[in-house]
Copies of this chain bind each other. A is one copy, B any other.
Amino acid sequence: MPRPAKHHPERGDARARLLEAARDVIRAKGFAATSVDDLCKAAGVTKGAFFHHFETKEALGVAAAAYWAETTSAFFENAPYRKLEDPLDRLFGYVEFRKAIIDGDPAEFTCLVGTMTQEVYGSHPAIRDACAASIFGHAATLEPDIAAAMAARGIEADWTPASLARHTQAVLQGAFILAKATGDRADALDSVDHLKRYLTLLFSTPRSKGNPHDGC
Whether the pair B202, A159 counts as a contact (CB closer than 8 A) is no
Which B residues lie within 8 Å of A115 (CB)?
118-119
Whether the pair A131, B181 counts as a contact (CB closer than 8 A) is yes
A91 CB → nearest B CB, Å:
9
Cα–Cα distance between A29 and B128 once the two chains are bound (Å)? 11
Q: Please state the number of chain copies in the assembly.
A: 2
A134 CB → nearest B CB, Å:
9
Whether the pair A163, B128 counts as a contact (CB closer than 8 A) is no
Chain A binding surface, main DSSP class: helix
Partner of A170, one of B92, B171, B209, B216: B171
A128 CB → nearest B CB, Å:
7
Given the interface pairs A167-B194, A211-B200, the reply to whether A118 lies near B110 with Cβ below 8 Å is: yes
Q: List 18 interface pairs A-B (beta carbons < 8 Å), by A numbering.
A: A30-B122, A30-B123, A31-B119, A32-B33, A88-B216, A106-B121, A114-B118, A115-B119, A121-B180, A136-B182, A163-B191, A166-B178, A166-B187, A170-B174, A201-B201, A201-B210, A209-B214, A211-B214
Interface residues of chain A, those whose CB is within 8 Å of chain B, are 27-33, 88-89, 92, 106-107, 110, 114-115, 117-123, 128, 131-132, 135-136, 159, 163-164, 166-167, 169-178, 180-182, 187, 190-191, 193-194, 196-205, 209-216
Contacts A194-B198, A197-B202, A200-B210 known; 14 new A-B pairs at CB < 8 A: A28-B122, A30-B30, A30-B118, A30-B120, A118-B180, A159-B194, A166-B190, A166-B191, A174-B174, A197-B210, A198-B198, A198-B201, A200-B211, A209-B214
